[in-house]
């Protein structure tokens, strides 16, 4: 996801309501999120669908890494050498 351009990507809700189509077009073309404000405070973010899906995939992967780290901390992990052996055994069983 592209970084927010603070000059172009922050809009008030009233501005957004007046130009929904152009705001959606901007987000789609630039791949940058748009922050919507109300009374000077951020209340929502408009994001391109493809960028949102990519962000969700990265978050899911990161969640799996955190779970794995917790398992290793609790002594539930598998050593690198044992993991390699398991993978090699599975590959041989597929042949």
Pairing of strands 34-38, 10-12: parallel
User: How high is the pLDDT of residue 77?
Assistant: 82
- Say how far apart CA 34 and CA 23 lie, in whole Å: 8
Could you give all domains of the chain from N- to C-terminal order, each with its CATH number? Answer: 10-48 (3.40.1620)
pTM of the model: 0.71
pLDDT digits (tens, 9 = 90+) for 32-54: 999 999 999 999 999 999 999 99
How far is C-alpha 59 from the geometric centre of its chain's CA atoms?
5
């Amino acid at each position: 996801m592209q970084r927010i351009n603070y000059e172009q990507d922050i809009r008030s809700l009233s501005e957004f309501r007046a130009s929904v189509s152009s705001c959606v077009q901007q987000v789609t073309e630039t791949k940058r999120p748009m922050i919507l404000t109300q009374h000077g405070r951020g209340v929502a973010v408009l994001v391109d669908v493809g960028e949102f899906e990519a962000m969700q995939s990265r978050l899911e992967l990161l969640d799996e890494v955190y779970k794995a780290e917790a398992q290793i901390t609790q002594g539930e992990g598998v050593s690198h050498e044992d993991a390699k052996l398991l993978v090699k055994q599975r590959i041989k069983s597929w042949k």
